[in-house]
Chain A
Amino acid sequence: MKNRYQRGIRVALVLAGVGIAVALMLKAFDENILYFYTPRQVVAGEAPDGRRFRLGGLVTLGSIEREPGSLKVSFLVTDNHKTLPVEYEGVLPDLFRDGQGVIAHGTMNDKGVFVADEVLAKHDENYMPPEVAEALKEVHGENES
């Protein structure tokens, strides 16, 4: 009788442990999923308010502006359909430049500016992030039809 009781407690403890672990995991999973949106989707209001997401597109030619002597930089990201202003403070990746495909992580502020806390550009001249390439293709197809 005592044995069965002990085993019951043990099973309950294990289940509780597993349950807590799973709950933590699901919470972490939910908090760390970043959705990807193009400027057009953001303008259409599809992006969530106040939640971080990934914005992808091309850096509009000639749009990069630096505040002299500081790390603040602003630029426009476009999917050739809609364009969105982006602000960032920090060191930019090596391949960040005009016309290059970029992905930025951050949130929209109330002025309609995307405030990035991370900017990624990939290490290859010809490389285009797959999401960006696809977004551009979609726009291109629609313009033709």
Chain B
Amino acid sequence: MIPELGLFALVLTFCLALIQSFAGLAGAYWRKPEWLALVRPMASGQFVFAALSFGLLTWSFIVNDFSVEYVALNSNTELPFFYRIAAVWAAHEGSLLLWILTLSAWTLGVAWANKDMPIVFRARILGVLGLINCGFMLFVMATSNPFIRLLPAALEGRDLNPLLQDPALVIHPPILYAGYVGLAVAFAFAVGALIEGKVTSNWARWLRPWTLLAWAFLTVGVALGSWWAYYELGWGGWWFWDPVENASFMPWLMATALIHSLAVTEKRGLFKSWTVLLAICGFSLSLLGTFLVRSGVLISVHAFANDPARGLFILIFLGLCIGIALSLYAWRAPALGSGGGFKVLSRESFLLLNNLMLVVAAGLILIGTLYPLFIDALEMGKISVGPPYFNLVFLIPTLPMVLLLGVGMHSTWKRARWEMLWLRLKTPLSIAVPVALGISFAWGRPSVLTFVGVFAGVWVILSALSEVRQRQKMGRSFFALPRSIIGMLTAHIGLGLFVLGTTVTSVFSVEKDLALRAGDVVELAGYQIKLETLRDIEGPNFDAVEGVVTIRRDGEMVTTLYPQKRVYRVQTSPMTEAGIEAGWTRDLFVALGDDLGNGSWSLRIQFKPLVRFIWLGALVMAFGGLLSMSDPRYRKKRQAEAPAPELAEGAAP
């Protein structure tokens, strides 16, 4: 009975969302106040029933109801309670239900926050959001119903994929989805603005916090995925340019461009149609990502649903969303207009360059991701594009961008002055150059790329700190700065940490694959690593061989690691559980390979300096985004409409 109620709740959600979209869009068109009044309650109802539906599926997992096919395929009585809940979004059907719930939550937020938003405009946005959610619910009901019964019921479930039995993977999908789906809000704002034919600075002010929130979620979600790949896929890489990773990274690049372009639109009333286009592209890319992941057209760890009907549905949905939005854009964008000019040396220029480079990077990644699909569709052979391509085309636009960022942070609107910039930049420059030189030569393998990478990281961090110092010199305390500025500086420090971590890890990591017997000692980057012994152990739902590996430095004990080779009982699939000694400055990583016979095992051992800075940087970036978002300015009453650009010169950057 419970699963049927779940499906029923989903159908109700669909009906409410349909009413919400119709009342919102038609009500705004014909100016019917009684229709417009319906929109907000429908959004609330939509959320309540989506949550109910999701809750009922979770319930089926908690009570091990194996008469539900989806539960039988993804859970097991031996599965720990915590993972039984996470199993709800472990596969295709449930994760779509999570998607729907998340979109309902964003809809709810947009419906009740922004109290000063005109009712007609809000109705339009909620109308668009409702339509998107309807599309996804139709998708679930038509092709991916998680509530389907299995008759006769299974006695025992097939268990959760062992790879997903991991704390980071429990929170990775919800957070990533919150980011993906959050871009739908920007999309809806863009479509709403195109319908009205105007983009105002208030529009940008309403949209900025939502975009920042979605971007922060996306940042954490992508970072979690990377962290998980690092320790769970077993072999210590943290980014593989896997198509599905790209699918999450391209929307992130677009969202990053969007938050910067929105700043210009809000403060200066410029880049209006560009901002709208970015908002459309951001969400389109996240839909494209969904298509790539869900349709099985790609070869990837994430590609679990090989059902052509599903792929076709999403492709049509994707086509409709992008097609309608872009047609509307082509028709209305020229009317949005833009005004005001700016000098070559100005904050606007720097933000324009930032946008240009982010979009170029996203475009080149898109080409590398989609090209194999085109070639395959044209029956010209099956190809794949290797990581070196992505590394290069990603660095070409982003490295100059990071270098320019150090300057751009201090520039002022309309027109910046070199003397002002130099005053703030000479100290960071005079520290960053020697530090970068020092680090490049410290390990004895200096290269231009190492120098530039380390310099870029240190440069951005110091440049952000120098802004704080300058403001303090002018007699203002750090905490008196506007929250959005503190957030901006924090996020840029995060980026600097990320760049530093990426460079140092990529260049100075040491990796060895070895055949070892119990008692063997090897030397790696100054550490003596000894395989003490191997033993059999038993986990709650797996058996494993565990290596005991001691690590010493100059004879002194550093740590003992316990890498495992697990075999999960139900799916009988082997899994490598790496042993990692994490530290601020370096990770030591030991993974157990195979039994090679003669009592020896293959091991991969790695020394990875500053690898933690990669994820730390991402977290700091996201935190900066949240700080910015919490700026009280975004919750102020509606302001007088866009000050004439010429008057805006004195406005705070």
- Measured CB to CB, the residues of A under 8 A from B are 21, 24-25, 28-29, 31-36, 54, 66, 68-71, 89-92, 94-95, 122-125, 129-131
Contact = CB atoms under 8 A, between A and B. Distances in A.
Contacts of A35: 381-383
Interface size band for B: 35 or more
Interface of B: 161, 163, 234-235, 296, 299, 301, 304, 306, 364, 367-368, 371, 381-389, 392-393, 396, 513-515, 517, 571-576, 591, 593-594, 596-598, 600, 602-604
A21 B396 contact: yes
A95 B598 contact: no
B165 to A, nearest CB: 12
17 contacts: A28-B388, A28-B389, A28-B393, A29-B385, A32-B387, A34-B384, A34-B386, A36-B382, A36-B384, A69-B596, A71-B514, A71-B602, A94-B575, A123-B163, A124-B304, A125-B573, A130-B299
Of B235, B575, B593, which is in contact with the most chain A CB atoms at under 10 Å from its CB? B593
Given A32-B388, A54-B384, A129-B299, 15 more contacts: A24-B392, A25-B392, A25-B393, A29-B371, A29-B389, A31-B388, A32-B385, A33-B389, A35-B382, A36-B382, A68-B596, A69-B517, A69-B596, A90-B513, A130-B299
B373 to A, nearest CB: 11
Closest CB pairs A-B (n = 10): A32-B386, A36-B382, A32-B389, A91-B593, A28-B392, A94-B574, A28-B389, A68-B598, A91-B602, A90-B513
A35 B372 CA distance: 10
Contacts of B296: 130
Q: Mostly helix, strand, loop or mixed at chain B's interface?
A: mixed
Contacts of A31: 388-389
B246 to A, nearest CB: 14
Contact of A69 (B371, B515, B574): B515
A34 B602 CA distance: 28
B575 A34 contact: no
Nearest to A133: B306
B169 to A, nearest CB: 12
Of A28, A92, A94, A131, which is in contact with the most chain B CB atoms at under 10 Å from its CB? A94
B620 to A, nearest CB: 30
B385 A33 contact: yes
Nearest to A36: B382
A124 B388 CA distance: 27
Contact of A71 (B304, B382, B513): B513
A90 B591 CA distance: 13
Given A34-B384, A94-B234, A94-B575, A70 B392 contact: no
A29 B390 CA distance: 9
Given A21-B396, A34-B384, A94 B576 contact: yes
Contact of B383 (A21, A36, A70, A125): A36
A69 B301 contact: no
A69 B598 contact: yes
Nearest to B567: A94
A33 B374 CA distance: 13
Contacts of A29: 367-368, 371, 385, 389
B591 A91 contact: yes
Nearest to A103: B299
B381 A36 contact: yes
